[in-house]
Each structure stands twice: as structure tokens, then as C-alpha cells.
């Protein structure tokens, strides 16, 4: 089980999206239980990778912004 938490309202929306996807792609009408199991599988297996990439992207963004701030400081000292 993953440490990634999704609130119940959003989880139900995602379950509905999974059900729609299966129906649109294969004509298969899967139930809530199967869609919930698929969602939990992806949260547990792919979720941490996506989360870590998001953290890395945010870190790089903030680092670049801080570098810009420090560049302003260098110009001010001249």
C-alpha cells in the first residue's frame, strides 16, 4: 500500500474515469470494485515514481528561481 493519499471524492472521480476508459476502449463495462483495484494498483506501483518526479521538477524549478535571485544580488554589489 502506497503512502499517497487521495481524498474520497477525487478517488470516486478517478474510478469513474477508469470505468469510462475501459468502456470506450474495449466496450467492457467494469464495476466499481475492479476499477478501484486498478486505481489502487496504479497508485501503489506508478504513484511513487510520478510523485518523485514532481518533487524533482519542483526542486529544479525552485533552484533555478533562487539562482535568478542570487544573480540579482551579484549585480547589485557591482
Encode pLDDT of 16-53 as tens digits.
999 999 999 999 999 999 999 999 999 999 999 999 99
Output 73 or 15, whichever has higher pLDDT: 15
Task: Tell whether 27 is covered by a domain.
Answer: yes
Dihedral class, residue 63 (left if φ above 0, else alpha if ψ from -120 to 50, else beta)? alpha
The cell numbers describing 1, all together, are 500500500
Task: Tell whether 20 is covered by a domain.
Answer: yes
Query: What is the domain extent for residue 36?
Result: 8-77
Domain count, the chain: 1
**pTM (two decimals):** 0.70
Task: Tell whether 50 is covered by a domain.
Answer: yes
Residues above pLDDT 90, as percent of the chain: 78
Task: Tell whether 1 is covered by a domain.
Answer: no
Task: Tell whether 3 is covered by a domain.
Answer: no
Amino acid at each position: 500500500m502506497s503512502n499517497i493519499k487521495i481524498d474520497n471524492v477525487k478517488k470516486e472521480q478517478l474510478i469513474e474515469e477508469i470505468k469510462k476508459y475501459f468502456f470506450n476502449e474495449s466496450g467492457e463495462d467494469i464495476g466499481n470494485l475492479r476499477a478501484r483495484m486498478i486505481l489502487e494498483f496504479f497508485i501503489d506501483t506508478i504513484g511513487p515514481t510520478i510523485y518523485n518526479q514532481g518533487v524533482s521538477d519542483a526542486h529544479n524549478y525552485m533552484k533555478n528561481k533562487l539562482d535568478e535571485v542570487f544573480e540579482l544580488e551579484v549585480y547589485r554589489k557591482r
